[in-house]
Amino acid sequence: NAGVTQTPKFQVLKTGQSMTLQCAQDMNHEYMSWYRQDPGMGLRLIHYSVGAGITDQGEVPNGYNVSRSTTEDFPLRLLSAAPSQTSVYFCASRTSWTGYQETQYFGPGTRLLVL
Amino acid sequence: DQQVKQNSPSLSVQEGRISILNCDYTNSMFDYFLWYKKYPAEGPTFLISISSIKDKNEDGRFTVFLNKSAKHLSLHIVPSQPGDSAVYFCAASEGPSGTYKYIFGTGTRLKVLA
């Protein structure tokens, strides 16, 4: 199992450019999420999905778009990059509720710099 | 409005001593709490968790304590080792109805001195 994979590892964008951060998991997890990590702000939830075709907004969704056409993939799209979106982005996946047992796994992250 | 707070950005502890990391929350609907550990350039990894029906959970050197009345949880690491040096995040969830929404704190950077 590769677990949760993210590409690219690092990306530099100019203000106004668009791009897609890729996330894939091979554990057949229903739930997938995108977080961003900023200094002093911790991990903040951007968007999440509870299954193929179902997505919803997290704490900081503005400027980002997601879709979930398959169980395995959950791409995050930046529509028009802004310097405020400079951050480290983490994708995570987990199983559905099985009691109070943690099953969430994070990917290695994508470091994004917007100039 | 920060629902999960880690008020200590950093902590230094001597090897072999106890490390205590603290976390406070404001949402009384949270009923599942977790600690994650993060090394530089890696994704967070799960460390230990506790549900609101318990006040303590142990896993080897790691123990999490939950004080529901104070809306406070803490992570104890005994004995601390240099490999424990990392950023620790606490997270909280509302349980079955909100299991896909973990709210994270801002993290505490632990440095264990050899």
* Per-residue pLDDT, B97: 60
* Per-residue pLDDT, A2: 77
Q: Quick check: B1 pLDDT over 90?
A: no
Contact yes or no for A4 and B43 at CB 8 A: yes
Omega into B9 within 30° of 0, i.e. cis? Answer: no
- Angle among Cα A79, A83, A88 to the nearest 5 degrees reads 85
Q: Which of B45, B100, B105 sits opposite A42 (nearest CB)?
A: B105
Q: Does B108 touch chain A (CB under 8 A)?
A: no
Contact yes or no for B99 and A42 at CB 8 A: no
Arithmetic mean of pLDDT, A95-103: 72
Q: Which residues of A touch B (CB under 8 A)?
A: 4, 31, 33, 35, 40-45, 48, 50, 58-59, 90, 92, 94, 96-97, 100, 102, 104-109
> pLDDT tens digit string along B92-113?
988 666 556 888 999 999 999 9
Average pLDDT taken over every residue of chain B: 93
Alpha carbons B95 and B110: distance in angstroms, whole number? 28
Q: Quick check: A95 pLDDT over 90?
A: no
Average pLDDT taken over every residue of chain A: 93
> CA of A57 to nearest chain B CA: how many angstroms apart?
10
> pLDDT tens digit string along A10-22?
999 999 999 999 9
